[in-house]
């Protein structure tokens, strides 16, 4: 599927299946989508770029129909070395948007162009210690920039407050139709604040799937993002 341009400007909650119960993955995806979630986030790790290993194109291919049948979209975050080798495989598996790390290779411009040619949303991700200047040369090409607010590789970490300073800087740098995605340590207490800073695609893993009722928690977080909810 092609992500509508309007979706990049909208406020979206992206539950990350990294924190889901994989024995009940279809049920948990269904629960958050029934709660109004439109984009599911998938973290791909290779054990080299980050110290953990997660899923590959085969699992994305299995998840994609569950999401697409409900009218949703699949955003895949590639925390891997040489991501250009796998872009086509993930696009064919059903990813609607791909994000590669600016730190993962020397040919970022070419990689972004390749994602565009494959017909998927093109995203660039930044580690907490990476300056926003790394995306300046491709700022007019990307559909989204993903800011990591924890060190990539593991779920359940605390948000690194100083990284939030990147959000307004990027909002000035990017076209207004591009999304700023924020990933790491987001919960009820801080989700409204990060949206007010200018981030509009917000990834939540353990905050959603670590809750007793992931669907109910997704509703709470979506209400907080739009200013209609209370942390209580």
CB 194 within 8 A of CB 3: no
21 given a catalytic annotation = no
Q: Which of 46, 96, 143, 183 is catalytic?
A: 183
- At 154 the three-state DSSP class reads coil
Q: Which of 21, 34, 43, 213 is catalytic?
A: 43
Residue 40 neighbours by CB under 8 Å, 6+ apart: 14, 15, 17, 29, 32, 33, 63, 67, 72, 73, 74, 75
172 burial (CB, 10 Å; 0-12 / 13-18 / 19+) is exposed
43 given a catalytic annotation = yes
- At 41 the three-state DSSP class reads strand
Distance CA(97)–CA(73), nearest Å, equals 8
Catalytic residues: 43, 183
């Amino acid at each position: 599927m092609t992500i509508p341009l309007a979706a990049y400007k909208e406020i979206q909650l992206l539950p990350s299946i990294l924190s889901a119960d994989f024995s009940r993955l279809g049920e948990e995806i269904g629960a958050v989508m029934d709660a109004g979630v439109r984009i599911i986030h998938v973290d791909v790790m290779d054990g080299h770029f980050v110290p953990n290993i997660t899923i590959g194109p085969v699992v994305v291919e299995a998840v994609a129909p569950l999401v697409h049948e409900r009218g949703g979209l699949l955003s895949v975050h590639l925390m891997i070395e040489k991501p250009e080798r796998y872009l086509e495989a993930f696009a064919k598996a059903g990813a609607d948007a791909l994000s590669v790390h600016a730190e993962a290779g020397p040919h970022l411009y070419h990689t972004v162009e390749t994602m565009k040619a494959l017909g998927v949303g093109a995203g660039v991700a930044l580690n907490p210690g990476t300056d926003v200047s790394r995306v300046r040369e491709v700022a007019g090409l990307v559909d989204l920039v993903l800011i990591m607010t924890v060190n990539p590789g593991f779920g359940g970490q605390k948000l690194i407050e100083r990284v939030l300073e990147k959000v307004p800087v990027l909002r000035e740098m990017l076209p207004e139709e591009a999304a700023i995605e924020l990933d790491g340590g987001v919960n009820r207490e801080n989700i409204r604040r990060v949206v007010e800073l200018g981030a509009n695609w917000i990834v939540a893993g353990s905050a959603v799937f670590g809750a007793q009722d992931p669907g109910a928690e997704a509703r709470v977080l979506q209400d907080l993002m739009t200013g209609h909810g209370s942390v209580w």
